[in-house]
Amino acid sequence: MAEDSESNENKDVKIKEVRGAIDAKGNEDYLVVCIGAFGAWQAKVCILVCVARFMVMWNWMFIIFLTYDSEFICTSFNATIPENVTESTCYDGCTKYEFAEGLFTTSFVAEFELICERAWMANMVQSMMMFGFLFGVFLFGWISDRYGRRIALMLSSFINVVLMVASPFSPNYWLYASLRFFIGVASGGVLVVAIVVILEVVGPQYREIAAACAKLPDGIGEASLCAFAYFSPTWRVYALSIGIVSILILASLALVPETPRWLMTNGQLDAMRKLMVYAAKW
């Protein structure tokens, strides 16, 4: 009885795999039949691509520790000094503000004096990045369709890392805000291409769970910002440390191949066959 039960269970599993290899039109999914719906090779690709999302999450939530509320007080007036000078209060006749040491010995807000009439500029940095993100989703979506998923993913990740490392050396606010815009463009590319790669390497029956699991590292990436901020003495070191760690992620993406589905769709059949033979060996 036990053997019959196990045999029936194995048959059910095979039936499900066969059904998953049939698309909505009732045709066999050639890639699934050849390399399987999900195996070690697909798992490797998915993990590598998921790790790339760390860069996106870091850039998204980076602003939390960059523009935290800094206490300040006016120490110099060009007019009559008020009787009671209170902390974190703006005065019309103030010519110099001093900032209290907070999370960083030198904060982004303190270095560029983003308080009072310049306070809006602190949030502007994030707005610039998110606007670039919107543009990047469309740009790298087109690049991935035209030139390949791998090229789009590597290009967006490379631009991301270069700008993340360069931005802490910005001598002024406007250059830094401009770089954040282009970081947003690259981050949008990484995010949109990463999910496409995952959906194209797994079989249809695993796409939903693969897409859901792809978002699990997002929380880890966001939480890790606490460690970067805690061990960084200044905001520049905080930004630079994230950029340096991202170099390791960029290096790991060199192991991500082009997706077989893109190769097949674009007529690169020889490259697709070689990739499928390699994937089937895993």
Q: Tell me, rounded to whole angstroms, the distance of Cα 216 from its chain centroid.
A: 13
CA-CA distance, 164 to 159, in Å (whole number)?
Answer: 8
> Residue 28: pLDDT band by 50, 70, 90 thresholds?
low
> Residue 103: its pLDDT value, please?
84
* Region 150-159 average pLDDT: 95
Q: Is the pLDDT of residue 3 over 90?
A: no
> Residue 257: pLDDT band by 50, 70, 90 thresholds?
very high
For residues 172 and 204, the model is more confident at: 172
Q: ∠ CA(151), CA(157), CA(160), 5° rounding?
A: 140
DSSP 74: E
Q: Is the pLDDT of residue 93 over 70?
A: yes
CA-CA distance, 180 to 67, in Å (whole number)?
Answer: 14
Q: Is the pLDDT of residue 126 over 80?
A: yes
Task: Tell me the CA distances in angstroms from 133 to 123, 164, 228, one per residue in order.
Answer: 16, 14, 23
In terms of average pLDDT, the best of 19-23, 97-101, 136-140 is 136-140
> Residue 180: its pLDDT value, please?
95
* Residues 6+ positions from 35 with CB-CB distance below 8 Å: 41, 260, 276, 279, 280
Cβ burial, residue 56 (10 Å; 0-12/13-18/19+): buried
Domains detected in the chain: 43-68+121-280 (1.20.1250.20), 72-102 (no CATH)
CA-CA distance, 14 to 25, in Å (whole number)?
Answer: 20
Q: Is the pLDDT of residue 23 over 50?
A: no
